[in-house]
Amino acid sequence: DGGITQSPKYLFRKEGQNVTLSCEQNLNHDAMYWYRQDPGQGLRLIYYSQIVNDFQKGDIAEGYSVSREKKESFPLTVTSAQKNPTAFYLCASSPFRTGKATEAFFGQGTRLTVV
């Protein structure tokens, strides 16, 4: 089945540690996105990538880093510089430059908790 997979579903991090969230898609989509979801704030864009080896900062990129070495994969690293990392993280992918209202497909999310 085609889809987008995030792992792990739950993740616990000690303060001061970096942690990497995985996102893989087999939909052959060019564009991939990372969003952070907090209560009452909707989904806020962290980073997005529209092509391999290229990515752009979103609205809240500070304390996060990404890579896009393969079309299928877009891992997100939450660094120790992120002061409030406890949140729900969503990865998405979509076709690129279609000229249509093509939908973005979302993974099932990763709940990150700092302990």
Partner 1 sequence: AQTVTQSQPEMSVQEAETVTLSCTYDTSESDYYLFWYKQPPSRQMILVIRQEAYKQQNATENRFSVNFQKAAKSFSLKISDSQLGDAAMYFCAYRSSDFGNEKLTFGTGTRLTIIP
Radius of gyration over every alpha carbon of the chain, rounded to an integer in angstroms:
14
If one asks whether residue 33 binds partner 1 (CB under 8 A), the answer comes out as: yes
- Segment interacting with partner 1, rule: CB under 8 A, options 21-29, 62-70, 79-87, 104-112: 104-112
CA geometry: angle at 72 spanning 110 and 87, to 5°?
15
If one asks whether residue 25 binds partner 1 (CB under 8 A), the answer comes out as: no
- Segment interacting with partner 1, rule: CB under 8 A, options 38-46, 60-68, 70-78, 79-87: 38-46
Cβ pair 94, 113 in contact under 8 A: no
Cβ pair 63, 83 in contact under 8 A: yes
Other residues' Cβ atoms within 10 Å of the Cβ of residue 92:
23
Which residues contribute to the site for partner 1 (CB under 8 A)?
Answer: 31, 33, 35, 40-45, 48, 50, 58, 88, 90, 92, 94, 96-97, 99-101, 103-104, 106, 108-109
